[in-house]
Chain A
Amino acid sequence: MSKPSLERGINALREQIDAPIASFFSSCVHCGMCADACLFHTETGDPRYVPIHKLEPMRRLWEQEYTLVGRLKKLVGLSKKITAEELEEWQELVYNSCSLCGRCSMVCPVGNDIVYMIRKMREGMSAAGYAPEGLIGASTRAVEIGSPMGVTIKAVEAQVKHAEKDLGFEIPMDAEGAEYLVLMSSMEIMNYPEYLQAVAKIMNQAGKSWTISSEAFEATNAGIQIGASDIARVLVQRIVDAAEKLKVKTVISPECGHAYTAIRWEGANLVGRPFNFKVQHILEVLDELREQGLLKTEGSEASRMTFHDPCQLVRRGGVIEQPRNLLQMVASDFVEMKDHGTMNWCCGAGGGVSANEDAHELKLTSFNRKKKQLDELKVDALVTACANCRIALEEGLEENEMDIPVLGLTEMLAEHLVTEKSGKEE
């Protein structure tokens, strides 16, 4: 990676402008409807957070260089160049006030995929050197240490040992020929170690072969969040190499939103060739096991529960029905939030917002949207399937003095697994 500069940033932006971007900018009539879909706008009322405005520098570059009128205007000195100061000002708009949730893309009447544009805009911002400190740190650690949060393989091994002790059976490391390669997020390793045990129990019950790779345990991809395809490519390549080396059939993305987008949807495009293995989110795998009768649970939670859809899983990922199917197995009083599924509201912390200290206050303010959704429902517990959402929800609930436990769906299912003691097996 060369040193960031305005010139590099503008070049990176140029590279990002494709036919969809040109069509989107041509179509926008400044109706402002995307503002009403963005929780950073609805919860603050700040007009600068209207999604399409976050792309203004990129729009000007497109107009000036890729349209006849723009070029004529430039020729006669009627156009405003992109400046370093401008990009610096836009950092807040492109990173702090956008979680890449993509709700704006759902409501745009001319059909612009606005978040597709923001993802691309970030490529220019990071190349120009205007990405937030927090994300630069996370990306650097991801490349150098193997985890955006500085988790080393030694720490993972310690967790695995601990889990094995609890479980009473072995967790396969680097097992060649396993069906599944299980990835984790640093969040799970540090904050929710229960996840690993839950997956182990479920795989064990289902009789599936699986493994963890000591060369690629981390699924998250800070390169996607900061908008640096070169970094994102390095991180995806690690997983591809490990999956191919271990000859696994399927790579399982953990309970994390953007990790799924990174491996499932951007991965092959980043490394420049289709994968020769499947990529599934853990919920997709669990739902398949359910269908095959390999996921056996007993008992169900009587408390009133709802599901918080992680944006990257649902709206940007297509994993929509699976969490519902799975929840039906273990929750007898499951209710939906008014806006759910593809129209769900973000927790406010996705897309690198959580790693960005500058965005902390804004994140807590935008949590009010989720608070309102939850106040309407009066649930006893909130279930989700993304460690980042989970922490953001816990933090937001704590901040608002709302006493609602937040559960990970995989762990919840593992707790209801039919055990040998209950006599239904063997």
Chain B
Amino acid sequence: MRGPGLQIATVIFAFGIILRFFEIFMMGRKKNLSAKRASGTGAGFRTVATRFLPADSETMRRSIFTIVAGYIFHIGLFVTLFLFVPHIQLFDALTGLSWPGLPNPVVDFFTVISMIALLALMWQRLTKPVLRLLSTGHDHLVWTLTFLPLLTGYLAYHHLFIPYTWMLAFHILSVELLMILFPFTKLMHAFTLFVSRWYTGSMAGEKGVKV
């Protein structure tokens, strides 16, 4: 039941990401001529790591909803994508790489909490004034692109609503859509955030500031 769709999507995904990185690095940046307190390289990598956690407890308190829901969603997505046994088999078939997965009911749980967190984040986006102001069609598009594979995968796994093969086809289609649009939308943040954190961390590190 696997057509060329996934291969085409993978190629677009990969080339798109390379293109986007090219677009970013092509912009270049000026050499810092001021007397540095330290090299920024290590500080950059430090920030890549530290930004996985909120800056301090006060930031945690102020942004608790975004942080908690954001984390649950990302962890749930990670587990569903990489630790579901059929997914691992697919990666194995494509790349020859394989790793142990989690029992299906556990993955199922993570899928559900991931979807709940996504719904909560969307609710926040639609109600909180700051997010209403910031949000554009683009934000709703990437939310939908992320939500659909989770939903169709969940429905397919539980054989709900329509025949399994149909639902699986929708699931694969939604993943292909996600992959094709990934490099050209802010889904790219999954890769560029490491670059952003490094730049910020290294610029601050040269001034002797840990950020």
Interface residues of A (CB under 8 A from B): 17-24, 26-33, 35-37, 41-42, 45, 47-48, 50, 52-53, 66-69, 105-113, 116, 264-269, 272-275, 278-279, 314-318, 320, 338-339, 342-343
Contact = CB atoms under 8 A, between A and B. Distances in A.
B28 A18 contact: yes
B209 A67 contact: no
Interface string B184-207: 101011001101111111011001
Given A32-B66, A343-B56, A315 B209 contact: yes
Given A18-B27, A19-B24, A113-B203, A52 B134 contact: yes
B29 A18 contact: yes
Most chain B beta-carbon neighbours within 10 Å: one of A27, A37, A41, A342: A27
A28 B209 contact: no
B63 A20 contact: no
Q: Is the interface of B mostly helix, strand, loop or mixed?
A: helix
Interface string B121-133: 0000100111111
B193 A342 contact: no
A342 B59 contact: no
Contacts, number: 178
B211 A106 contact: yes
B70 interface: yes
B134 A339 contact: no
Contact of B30 (A18, A23, A109, A264): A18
Given A18-B27, A108-B200, A111-B51, 8 more contacts: A26-B189, A26-B192, A26-B196, A27-B195, A32-B128, A111-B201, A113-B200, A339-B56
A111 B189 contact: no
Contacts of A339: 56, 58
B209 A318 contact: yes
B35 interface: yes
A109 B70 contact: yes
Interface in B156-211: 184, 186, 188-189, 192-193, 195-201, 203-204, 207-211
Interface in B30-45: 30, 32-35, 37
Contacts of B142: 29
Contacts of A315: 209
A318 B129 contact: no
Contacts of B35: 268, 274-275, 278-279
Contacts of A67: 20, 23
B135 interface: yes
A43 B17 CA distance: 40
Contacts of A275: 34-35
B59 A37 contact: yes
B139 to A, nearest CB: 5
Given A26-B189, A67-B23, A31 B70 contact: yes
B33 A320 contact: no
B153 to A, nearest CB: 22
Nearest to B134: A30
Nearest to B199: A20
10 contacts: A21-B27, A22-B23, A26-B189, A31-B70, A32-B131, A33-B63, A110-B51, A315-B209, A316-B209, A317-B207
A109 B51 CA distance: 6
A324 B142 CA distance: 47
Given A105-B200, A317-B209, A66 B23 contact: yes
A19 B29 contact: yes
Contact of A272 (B32, B33, B55, B186): B33
